[in-house]
Structure 1
Amino acid sequence: MMDFTHLKKQLEERQHEIEQRLLNSKSLGLDRGFASDMSSGELSQYDNHPADSGTELYEREKDIALLGHLKEELSDITYSLAQMEQGTYGICEVTGESIPFERLAAMPTARTTADASPNQDVFTDRPVEEEVIENMEEEYGTDQAEYEYNEQDAYEQVASFNQTSMTYDDSSLMDNEDGVGYVEEFEPFVSTDIDGYTGDENIHIERNIHYDRYMDEKDEEES
């Protein structure tokens, strides 16, 4: 017969540790759940920004989820200790066979052998987003290093899934490095005032990197 003295001591130490953590969690008000504003340490949520409230909600949900895992683990430990007292510990509840000591050493709360465990499914599902971004370089990028796939292409790709435009009229879809999003080469460095185009004399030339690049290309064409 296998000696479970070491495992019993290990379970009892873990049981005591979890019970202390649960007591500490209770003192922090986690047992109140989401019943009141005071559960998050606030007297009122009236003057809080929605983003702050969202952060508090996330942290609260995380703490409660971890608390649930602790309670479940404590229940398993209590059950295993009761099995030791009854002399049924280490016996598979499905097949009636002895559970290998190596398995019990790795998981002292095991109730079945590895082959009889209900958790046999290995999930191979991947995030659905991976299907979209898997080959985006090949699908949306270009052969020119100057116009390689960047954040602008990512934005346009995401925006294409919306039924309505996510941009306002005359908005710029250009980043600081290239002119993607414009029809004419000069568009990244020409501008007008708030009234829009009122004549060629009211067009302003922005002395930026796109202007310098445009002028360099013109100089090369003329030389």
Structure 2
Amino acid sequence: MDYTQLKNQLEQRKHEIEQRMVNTDQLGLERGFASDMSSGELSQYDNHPADSGTELYEREKDIALLGHLKEELSDIHYSLTQMENGSYGICEATGKTIPYERLKALPTARTIAKASLNQDISTDRPVEEEVIENLEEEYGTDDGMTGYNEQDAYEQVASFNQTSMVYEGSSLMDSEDGVGYVEEYEPFVSTDIQGYTGEEHVHIERNIHYDRYMDKQDEEEDPS
């Protein structure tokens, strides 16, 4: 079988990869992974940690890209060597002839499609889908079921913690309307636009939160 067209395709791709590696100066990795010069800085002393984190991410990405290029270049060299010794197009696993259509789509193929190692199809799904499904089952909007609100979200997040989320100074959550607050009296006290300017300017809203707070105070004063 004539593989001239495929050979030309491989040699062209080989030249493109080699030229790209030269033009990008090995993606700058020869200057060192964590050196100041790799980022164009004389010193990292005055850099924000986020800037250093971004630079670290870019270096890691460059390493991955360079690895892919080297792996592809190695496969191309292998295929060109096979063409020279006459073993190109023969499946290394079964000994059968690799269909030309497969080689045209993947010139570096070493096996027929059925013998390829990349046959497994992952069935893994994002863990978020399981959480969303559970929420839909527990907090659906059908008859007899309540909607998902802030209180539900708080409890959902709290369920993933090893320790209790209620501690001194923690945010409390009202079970009725989901209004978050720090102190128990905050839902029923307020000031004007000037802020706190004295006790005489604090307004008391006699709502359900005020009643609960006062009931609690009475219980503490008279436990009987």
TM-score by length of 1: 0.71
Cα distance in 1 between the residues matched to 2:27 and 2:116: 36
Structure 1: any 5+ residue segments left out of the alignment?
A: 206-223
Matched residue, 1:96: 95
Equivalent residues of 1:159, 1:166 under 8 A apart: no
Matched residue, 1:169: 169
CA drift of 1:182 comes to: 6.2
Per-residue CA deviation, residues 166-219 of structure 1 (Å, 9 max, x unaligned), is 887363658xxx931569xxx8852357xx9x99984455xxxxxxxxxxxxxx
Matched residue, 2:14: 15
CA drift of 1:39 comes to: 1.7
State the 4+ residue runs in structure 1 displaced beyond 3 angstroms: 140-144, 147-156, 170-174, 198-205
Aligned to 2:114, the other structure's residue is in SS state coil
CA drift of 1:123 comes to: 1.5
Distance 1:104 1:166, change over 3 A: farther
Structure 2: any 5+ residue segments left out of the alignment?
A: 206-224
Distance 1:48 1:179, change over 3 A: farther
**Residues 1-223 of structure 1: matches in 2 within 5 Å?**
2-26=1-25, 28-140=27-139, 148-149=147-148, 153-154=152-153, 156-162=155-161, 163-165=163-165, 169=169, 171=171, 179-181=177-179, 190-191=188-189, 202-204=202-204
Count residues with an aligned counterpart.
Answer: 194
TM-score by length of 2: 0.71
Per-residue CA deviation, residues 78-130 of structure 1 (Å, 9 max, x unaligned), is 11111111111101111111100011011000011111112222221223333
Cα distance in 2 between the residues matched to 1:18 and 1:112: 24
CA drift of 1:41 comes to: 2.5
CA drift of 1:23 comes to: 1.1
Equivalent residues of 2:27, 2:66 under 8 A apart: no
Matched residue, 1:214: none
CA drift of 1:50 comes to: 1.8
Q: Could you tell me which amino acid in structure 2 is paired with residue 109 of structure 1?
A: T
RMSD of aligned residue pairs (Cα, Å):
3.6
CA drift of 1:7 comes to: 0.7
Cα distance in 2 between the residues matched to 1:173 and 1:38: 51
